[in-house]
Amino acid sequence: MRLSKFFLPTLKETPAEAQIASHRLMLRAGMVRQQSAGIYAWLPLGLRVLNKVANIVREEQNRAGINEILMPTLQSADLWRESGRYDDYGQEMLRITDRHKREMLYGPTNEEMVTDIFRTYVRSYKQLPVNLYHIQWKFRDEVRPRFGVMRGREFLMKDAYSFDLDKESAVKSYNNHFVAYLRTYQRMGLKAIPMKADTGPIGGDHSHEFIVLAETGESQVFCDKAWVETDVLENPLVKEKDLQPFVDWATGMYAATEEKHDPANCPVPAENLVTARGIEVGHIFYFGTKYSEPMKAAVTAPGSETVTVHMGSYGIGVSRLLGAIIEASHDDAGIIWPESVAPFKIGLINMKVGDATCDAAAEDLYAKFEAAGVEVLLDDRDERAGVKFADMDLIGLPWQVVIGPRGIANGMVEVKNRKTGEKREVTVAQALAELS
Ligand code: ATP
Ligand code: MG
Ligand code: MG
Ligand code: MG
């Protein structure tokens, strides 16, 4: 992509309404534009990252054997009356009436709808377990939408649902999702710690919020400092078919949200307890027959009796993750994208547009990166070098390759690592070889 053709409305001034770094930087880098409170239009740079994040989520769901579907954003109120949630959900639900005066709603989540799909098609225990997910926009009329995409009203969520014959097999599904989540966040360069979370009236140990530690996080969380120091996916137990030993080991390290944390009974000595703020980037929950019972989602069991299925649901805040990644990875100059979610891998800067040698070298390198399948953004604008450097630092591409008249006369370019700031003079051929 050429910057001269790329719609990248960067801002020099810091928008007054943005209170935290990620919100500020997303606006300044021209990633999103607020259309109403908590409702955003995604501009080209933002959309590229959103799609990358969604794709990592998708790949890890697929790898875990979960089936992708796509349910609509609009749902019928009657479906929610079956579970009793239409009246219970309260003001966070956006209720809509169509021209025939039918009551509809913009889905804040999809337990009812997916349960309806399940009960329509699945009749026998032999078809279990069933695991379905989708990546779809949700609407929750949050009292206080804030921090940009972190707490939007319209936001992108991956929500998965599991259906099993009994609790024992439902826990296997739960463990499968648990591990898929760890892999997902790690691929985005994030450390998300699974913390014991509230199960409400359902009770039990099977609810974890995945939390990214950040000063600007909205919740208060507590964990053993071992969590911060350990890369849990390195434990070979994670490769076993039975994931229970892995999950037992991982959750053996204490981690709890404020609702679950009890200072009087905390097993971690004070000197090892991390007390911090955190961002909830995902939530997994086993809730038994809460929806299947009222909605009559049942199968024929081996003894031919009818059994109500056990369910779990598993959410990831896809759009919120962009905020969380930026909170975890930025500096004064701008965003620092981990390579896996970067909108482009390389920013190729032609310092002197109009100079025949620079232009020829930039075009040549650009064509070669493109041919090698490397995502590259060529700054071919006729702008001052200072503006180009500032914009490139702001949008945070992992690598910058700078072509200037002096260097290129000797066949040299400068390669800068955005994260470390390290700069090296290398030949054009070296730059190509190292970055392709
Ligand atoms: P929160 O406690 O932040 O309000 P939640 O517990 O209500 O979130 P869940 O119902 O668990 O949210 O939804 C699954 C995931 O969706 C959350 O873990 C979070 O990452 C994301 N999410 C929830 N609400 C929002 C929102 N308003 N904007 C962006 N992402 C959200
Ligand atoms: Mg909420
Ligand atoms: Mg929550
Ligand atoms: Mg939650």
From ligand 2's centre to the CA of 148, what distance in Å?
A: 15
Residue range 310-319, pLDDT digits in tens: 999 999 999 9
Residue range 125-161, pLDDT digits in tens: 999 999 999 999 999 999 999 999 999 999 999 999 9
Buried b (16+ CB within 10 A) or exposed e, 70-87: ebeeebbbebbeebebbe
Residue range 17-55, pLDDT digits in tens: 899 999 999 999 999 999 999 999 999 999 999 999 999
Whose C-alpha lies nearest to ligand 1, atom 28? 151
Cα separation, 379 vs 10, in Å, equals 14
- What is the average per-residue pLDDT within 330-347? 98
Is the separation of the CB atoms in 49 and 26 below 8 Å? no
Q: How far apart, in Å, are the Cα atoms of 353 and each of 1, 150, 380? A: 16, 39, 6
Structure tokens at 412: 């040299």
Structure tokens at 232: 């849990």
Is the separation of the CB atoms in 110 and 71 below 8 Å? yes
Cα separation, 9 vs 395, in Å, equals 11
Confidence of residue 8 (pLDDT cuts 50, 70, 90): very high
From ligand 4's centre to the CA of 315, what distance in Å?
A: 8
Q: Measure CA of the first residue to CA of the last residue in the chain; give whole Å.
A: 16
Is the separation of the CB atoms in 219 and 211 below 8 Å? yes
Does the pLDDT of residue 203 top 80, yes or no?
A: no
Q: Of the bound ligands, which one is closest to the alpha carbon of residue 40? A: 1
SS3 readout for 63-129? HCCCEECCCCCEEEHHHHHHHCHHHHCHHHCEEEECCCCCEEEECCCCHHHHHHHHHHHCCEHHHCC
Residue range 378-400, pLDDT digits in tens: 999 999 999 999 999 999 999 99
Residue range 52-108, pLDDT digits in tens: 999 999 999 999 999 999 999 999 999 999 999 999 999 999 999 999 999 999 999
- DSSP characters over 268-306: S-GGGEEEEEEEEEEEEEEEETTTTTTTT-EEE-TTS-E
Whose C-alpha lies nearest to ligand 1, atom 13? 315
- The Cβ of residue 200 has, within 10 Å, a number of other Cβ atoms equal to 11
Structure tokens at 228: 């911060």
pLDDT confidence of residue 123: 96
